[in-house]
């Protein structure tokens, strides 16, 4: 018997996140462990009159690809996959790891080569997102591997996931619309900002955001939602920031990251663990050393670090910045093959907008 919460999550994704219309084609990606959820998505999609296309994958196959492919294969971008990126109406990406460290033994240089190769797919995705021609959402389905990574039992992690997605609410769609209204007030405040200054432990970071657009993530693109984000002026970032939680890229963990910026570029990068990997990824391309995103986590139902960025970047009382590609709809111009989110706990921090204190101890004290 299917857990009713799985059916409700599928309905939320199809009716709220991508607002599927009759005749639209939906590209679904997920692991074999997510099949119970995929079945419910299929049911919800075809009932509306949509057409599902499935890419079921396995992390071991990805490991084989990175380990044995020669450089010509690593650099290859399939025209079939490119066509999908250019023409699909909607995309549902299911976060459903069966193994969270499947690339841990792969040479970072090989990962860098592949990331550079698929940059054109990333840019197609971001362009269509900015144009409004692609509807998409990333949504979790709890697996044993994800629960273990988060330090929880499977049952505990299932409860955590469904609560974070507000499936426990009587009307999840109404609950997300209310969350969106609260966040919109913050986005409107920040849309008036010219300068941000972020103060915290081992952190004093300045950036300009004038002319940039702050986006309200109300769960339509990421489920769970719960953030507002934008992109700084590319050459404006100055100062130092030290991140609280491990920065995770393709399953590789880098701990105690400290970055120093000058004229928008990382000029010094240190880490307590994984520093060589950090520096290698920063060499991916010119944009990898610049900030493509700055954001505030506002989902206070998420209270613990899980090593899954979909949840962790939304933790209420945190901020995060992403090195690499900016979302064009924010007005950001940085281009890169990477987009690496790094999170800082701000429950003992402050944020100033144009010299005025607007955020303290993990919460906005001024809204709109």
Whether the Cβ atoms of residue 30 and residue 139 lie closer than 8 Å to each other: no
User: Is pLDDT at 334 greater than 60 in this prediction?
Assistant: yes
Q: Tell me, what's the pLDDT at 8?
A: 96
Q: What is the mean pLDDT of residues 267-284?
A: 94
Q: Shortest CA distance to 338 belongs to which of 138, 116, 127, 120?
A: 116
> How many CB atoms within 10 Å of residue 111?
21
Q: Tell me, what's the pLDDT at 65?
A: 92
Cα 180 from chain centre: 18
Residue with tokens 């607002």: 19
User: Is pLDDT at 1 greater than 80 in this prediction?
Assistant: no
For residue range 119-156, list pLDDT tens digits in order: 899 889 989 988 899 999 999 999 999 999 999 999 99
Please tell me the distance from the alpha carbon of residue 84 to that of residue 314, in angstroms, as a whole number.
29
Q: Tell me, what's the pLDDT at 367?
A: 58
In this prediction, what percent of the chain has a pLDDT beyond 70? 99
Q: Tell me, what's the pLDDT at 122?
A: 87
> How many CB atoms within 10 Å of residue 79?
8
Q: What's the distance, Cα to Cα, between the start and end of the chain in Å?
A: 47
For residue range 48-94, list pLDDT tens digits in order: 999 999 999 898 998 999 999 999 999 999 999 999 999 999 999 99
Whether the Cβ atoms of residue 221 and residue 180 lie closer than 8 Å to each other: no
Phi, psi of 107 (to 5 degrees): -55, 125
Domains and CATH numbers, the chain: 4-168 (3.40.1830.10), 173-364 (no CATH)
Whether the Cβ atoms of residue 260 and residue 292 lie closer than 8 Å to each other: no
Q: Shortest CA distance to 125 belongs to which of 86, 90, 89?
A: 86
Q: What is the mean pLDDT of residues 277-303?
A: 94
User: Is pLDDT at 251 greater than 80 in this prediction?
Assistant: no
Please tell me the distance from the alpha carbon of residue 155 to that of residue 125, in angstroms, as a whole number.
34
């Amino acid at each position: 018997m299917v857990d009713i919460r799985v059916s409700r999550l599928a309905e939320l994704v199809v009716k709220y996140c991508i607002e599927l219309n009759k005749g639209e084609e939906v590209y679904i990606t997920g692991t074999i462990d997510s099949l119970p959820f995929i079945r419910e998505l299929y049911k919800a999609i075809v009932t509306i009159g949509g057409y599902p296309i499935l890419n079921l994958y396995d992390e071991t196959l990805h490991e084989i690809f990175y380990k044995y492919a020669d450089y010509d294969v690593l650099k290859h971008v399939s025209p079939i996959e490119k066509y999908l990126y250019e023409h699909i109406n909607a995309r549902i990406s299911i976060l459903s790891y069966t193994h969270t460290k499947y690339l841990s033994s792969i040479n970072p240089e090989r990962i860098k080569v592949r990331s550079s190769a698929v940059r054109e797919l990333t840019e197609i995705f971001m362009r269509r997102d900015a144009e409004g021609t692609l509807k998409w959402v990333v949504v979790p389905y709890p697996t044993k591997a994800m629960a273990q990574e988060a330090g929880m039992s499977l049952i505990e992690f299932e409860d955590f996931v469904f609560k974070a997605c507000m499936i426990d609410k009587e009307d999840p769609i109404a609950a997300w619309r209310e969350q969106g209204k609260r966040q919109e007030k913050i986005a409107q405040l920040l849309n008036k900002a010219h300068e941000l200054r972020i103060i915290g432990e081992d952190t004093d970071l300045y950036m300009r955001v004038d002319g940039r657009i702050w986006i309200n993530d109300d769960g339509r693109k990421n489920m769970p939602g719960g953030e507002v984000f934008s992109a700084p002026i590319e050459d404006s970032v100055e100062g130092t920031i030290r991140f609280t939680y491990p920065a995770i890229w393709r399953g590789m963990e880098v701990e105690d990251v400290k970055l120093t910026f000058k004229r928008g570029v990382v000029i010094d990068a240190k880490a307590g663990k994984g520093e060589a990997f950090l520096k290698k990824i920063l060499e991916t391309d010119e944009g990898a050393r610049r900030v493509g995103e700055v954001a505030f986590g506002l989902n206070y139902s998420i209270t613990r670090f899980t090593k899954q960025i979909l949840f962790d970047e939304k933790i209420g009382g945190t901020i995060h910045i992403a090195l690499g590609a900016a979302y064009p709809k924010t007005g950001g111009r940085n281009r890169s093959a990477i987009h690496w989110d790094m999170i800082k706990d701000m429950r003992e921090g402050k944020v100033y907008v144009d010299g005025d204190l607007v955020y303290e101890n993990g919460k906005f004290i001024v809204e709109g």
